[in-house]
Structure 1
Amino acid sequence: MQIHPLITDSATLAALVDRLAQHPFVAVDTEFMRENTYWPDLCLLQIASPDEAAAIDPKAEGLDLQPLWDLLVNNEEVLKVFHAGGQDLEIVHNMTGKTPHPLFDTQIAAMALGFGEQVGYSNLIESMLGHTLDKGARFTDWSRRPLDKRQIDYAIADVTHLATIFPRMVTKLKKTGRGQWLDEEMERLADPSSFAFEPEDAWKRLKLPSRNPAVLGRLKAIAAWREVEARGKNLPRGRIIKDDTLNDLAAHPPKTQDDLGRVRGLSAGWRNNDIGGRLMAAIGEAKPLDPEEMPDREPRRPGLTKDAALVSDLLKLLLKIRAKEAGVAARLIARSDELEALAAGVRRNLNILAGWRYEEFGRDALDLVEGRLAFATENGKLKMTRTLEIVE
């Protein structure tokens, strides 16, 4: 495979993209920094076909990245291969408003091949290729220039190995007949709505200080205000105001802006500066949370009776057994909320009751819930047994 020098000019990048577009797939990775910013700061993008690989410097002056974005988000003929690509996809979405499509994530594929639920890249490469990756540059500050040869080689190695293991994974998936298992997961990962995070939803990510609608209404308003401030200043949320302070303000709102100077976690300057004024405006405009927005008291098991909760636990045990037998990660087959829904009596619109999931797990899960399957032990080992249906 040909390895190119760091690409910093538009003509070289455009020519590379033209060649890459002739291949059925490209492997993609990014290096970024976000410790001091709200938005991830793209510092390097690596890309490879089976023939060549390159690192692209998005910080190079005058570099036109549009051909690269067109390849990643507009060219439906080329499959884009990532490993644990969630943050990479977020970066592309921030830059273009779209996500790469079609795509293939080797971490998700590894779940169908028995590598576990979240196998790390280095472990996957070592398992499939026998290579131990050089981790010497993993703590690089990728925003600094110039980057030395070792740093660039370290970054490019990620996509060269990715381009090598991808065809091998596809071959294994074809042999096991599990390729179609991944289609739904890949489409879900590529859904742009996953990255279109609205400020009004920011409160849902926080530890709730109360179930009082007025408190939660203020929490919603203040969290949305912080999100807008953080985006506008391109600062981490915690640099604007920390979660604990935000919760305290929602639970014990200041009556005047002058009171902000006595709030732990805020500087005295907030009592008379502009940002303090905007915070007080957000608090003043807050309305109690609507009843339909109120979170469940037990968000992990909404609406489950005690008996249904026990059935859900049995379903999780069955899932663990079936996943082990099939040699796949349990998370690929079913999610906890689906098991709880089945235990609670839901029978429609569940992924585990359709397609390959039904064949691998759903049929047995339904039989367990409805009394046609039971757990038993034999010689100290757990096994499943069929029960006779009672005919009245």
Structure 2
Amino acid sequence: MQIHPLITENAALFALCERMAKADFIAIDTEFMRENSYWPDLCLFQISDGKEAAAIDPKAPSLDLKPLLSLLVDNEDVLKVFHAGGQDIEIVYNLTGKTPYPLFDTQIASMALSQGEQIGYSNLVDSWLGIHLDKGARFTDWGRRPLDKRQIDYAIGDVTHLAEIFPLMLEELRKTGRGIWLDQEMERLADPSNYTVNPGDAWKRVRISSRKAEVLGRLKAIAAWRELEARDKNLPRGRIAKDETLADIASHPPRAQEDLGKVRGLSASWKGNEIGARLMAAIQSAKPLPRDEMPERDPSRPGLGKEGALVADLLKLLLKIRSREINVASRLLARSDDLELLAAGARANLPILEGWRFEQFGRDALDLVEGRMAFAVRDGKLLMTRTEA
């Protein structure tokens, strides 16, 4: 495979993208820093089509990434291959407002090939190619320039190995007939809504025990305030205020700005500065959370009750048995929420009752819930048996 020098000039990038626009697939990876910022600081793009590979420096003066980004989001003739690509896709979305399409994620594909639910890249390379990666450059400062040869070689290796693994994985999926199992997962990964952060929904990521409408309304208001402050200052959310601080303020709101100086987790200076004033404005403008936005009292088991919870547990046991039988990661077959909805009586719009999931698991899950199947122990092994019901 031809490895190019680090690309820092527009002519070289344009020529590379023009060639790769004719490829069947391209392997993509990025290096970025996010410890000190709200937005990921893109430091390097790596790309390979299996014949050539290059690292592209987005920090190079005057380098225009437009040809590369167009290749990723506008050219639907080329398949884009990632490994655990969520954050890479987010970066592309932030730059373009679009997601790469069509795409293939080798971590997701590994679930259909009995390699676990979240296989790491090093283990993937080891299992498919027998190569033990040097992780020495993994935690390097990718934002510092110039990058040395070891950093660049390490980064390019991520896509050269990926470009070797993808055809092998694709062939195995064809042999097993499991490629179609991945379509829905890949579509879900490519959905732009995954990468759009709505400040009005930010409160849903904060853990809080209260289910009072007044408390949750305040949490919604101040979580949205924090999101906007973090964006404006390009700082991590936790640098503005930690989750536990938001939960504390929502539950025990200060009456006046000067009381912010007593809140654990906030700077004493907030009792008199502008950011403190904006926080108080958010608190004072908060309204009780509307009834239709109120979370379930136990979101992990919606409407189940005690008996339904036991049924959900049986479904999870069935899932464990079936995933072991067909040698596939259980999360690819079914999600806990879907099992609990089935146990609670839901039948419409459940992925496990459609398509290949129904054939592999959903039919038996439905039979178990409706009394046509039961567990049995035979010769020390747990089995499923049909009933007369």
TM-score greater than 0.5 by the shorter chain: yes
Alpha-carbon shift at residue 209 of structure 1 (Å): 4.4
* Alpha-carbon contact 1:27-1:82 (below 8 Å) kept: yes
Confirm or deny that 1:129 pairs with 2:129. yes
**2:171 matches 1:156:** no
Partners of 1:344 and 1:230 in 2: CA distance: 40
Deviates more, 1:67-76 or 1:345-354: 345-354
Write the distance in 2 (CA, Å) between the matches of 1:218 and 1:362.
Answer: 41
2:300 is matched with 300
Structure 2 length-normalised TM:
0.98
What residue in structure 1 maps to residue 361 of structure 2? Answer: 361
3-state SS, counterpart of residue 266 of structure 2? coil
Instruction: Name 2:342's counterpart in structure 1.
Output: 342
The one-letter code of the counterpart of 1:256 is: A
Q: Pairwise mapping of residues 314-353 of structure 1 onto structure 2 (< 5 A)?
A: 314-353=314-353
Tell me the TM-score normalised to structure 1 length: 0.98
CA deviation string 1:30-53 (max 9, x = no partner): 110000000111101100011100
C-alpha separation in 2, matches of 1:117 and 1:207:
25
2:244 is the counterpart of 1:244: yes
* Number of the residue aligned with 2:267: 267
Contact 1:209 1:251 in 2 (8 A): no
CA distance in 1 between partners of 2:249 and 2:382 (Å): 52
Mapped to 2, the partners of 1:286 and 1:42 lie a distance apart of 36
The answer to which of 268-277 and 138-147 deviates more is 268-277
Task: Give the Cα separation in 2 of the matches to 1:270 and 1:343.
Answer: 49
- 1:375-390 equivalences under 5 Å are 375-389=375-389
Amino acid at match of 1:45: F
Shift of 1:387: 1.4
Q: In 1, distance between residues paired with 2:263 and 2:275?
A: 14
Unaligned 5+ runs, structure 2? none
Q: Please give the secondary structure, in 1, of the residue aligned with 2:384.
A: strand
Q: Which amino acid aligns with 1:216?
A: L
**Partner of residue 105, structure 2:** 105
Structure 2 match to 1:147: 147
Residue 226 (str. 1) matches residue 229 (str. 2): no
User: How far off its partner does 1:109 sit?
Assistant: 0.5
- Letter of the aligned partner of 2:145 in structure 1? R
Report the alpha carbon displacement of residue 268 of structure 1 after superposing the two structures with TM.
2.2
Residue correspondences, number: 389
Contact 2:113/2:328 (CA < 8 Å) preserved in 1? Answer: yes
* 1:87 counterpart residue number: 87
| Structure-2 separation of matches of 1:6 and 1:168 | 28
Instruction: Look up the match of 1:169.
Output: 169
* Aligned-partner Cα distance in 2 for 1:258–1:52: 61
Structure-2 separation of matches of 1:165 and 1:149: 24
Q: Which residue of 2 aligns with 1:312?
A: 312
Segments of structure 1 that go 5 or more residues without pairing to the other structure are: none
Deviation digits for residues 268-306 of structure 1 (CA, Å, limit 9, x no counterpart): 221221111111111111111111111111110010021
Which residue does 2:204 correspond to in 1?
204
Distance 1:309 1:212 in 2: 25
Q: Return the alpha-carbon distance in structure 2 between the equivalents of residues 249 and 347 of structure 1.
A: 40
Q: After TM superposition, give the deviation of residue 261 of structure 1 in Å.
A: 2.0
Equivalent-residue separation in structure 1 for 2:202 and 2:3 (angstroms): 43
d(CA) in 1 for partners of 2:264, 2:169: 53
Q: Is the 8 A contact 2:373 2:386 kept in 1?
A: yes
Between the aligned residues of both structures, percent identity stands at: 72
